[in-house]
Amino acid sequence: MLKKLFVLPIFLLSQNVCAEQTNVFCAPENGEFWYWAEDSNQQQVTTTGSSGESYLSDGKYFSYFTISSNEYNRLKQFCDSGHVPQPAENRFSNWSIFQITHENGSYNFAPGKYSSNEQVGHSAYRL
């Protein structure tokens, strides 16, 4: 019984997931230009989700921000026709895309431009 009391709090601590907030901009899929998504009051649009990285076969990676399909559809209304919403912390952020989760548990990456980055500081040590 005593072991269970110690294991449960550790398990609960490891299950903490923090929601993050990011700004949203709009751009054509090729990223030729961009503009901040704004609501009808000219306030910058934000969304809440979680950030992640996806690794490519060439050793590079790109960043994404996960949101629900309902939230992605909401964000699309703030973009001009033919443009897609994309996440960004600020105007100097690397290009990243949304990962969309669906009610059935599946997910996909939304269209858009993304920056592929070199893996820096990710090393494996052999002992």
- Give the pLDDT of residue 16: 44
What domain count does the chain have? 1
- Is 127 inside any structural domain? no
Residue 100 lies in a domain: yes
Among 53, 68, 58, smallest CA distance to 19 is for 68
- If one counts every other C-beta atom within 10 angstroms of the C-beta of residue 104, the result is 7
The answer to whether residue 30 is domain-embedded is: yes
Q: What's the domain range around 31?
A: 18-117
The predicted structure's pLDDT at residue 14: 35
Assess if residue 124 is contained within a domain: no
How far is residue 114's CA from residue 60's CA, in Å, rounded to a whole number?
12
Q: For residue 122, tell me if it sits in a domain.
A: no
Residue-level pLDDT at 19: 86
Kindly state whether residue 56 falls inside one of the protein's structural domains: yes
- 10-residue block means of pLDDT along the chain (127 residues)? 42 54 97 97 97 92 97 98 97 95 97 86 40
Q: What global pTM score does this model have? A: 0.78
Distance in angstroms (rounded) separating the CA atoms of residues 103 and 69? 8
Indicate whether 88 belongs to any domain: yes
Determine how β-strand 60-68 pairs with β-strand 97-101.
parallel
* Residue 6 belongs to some domain of the structure: no
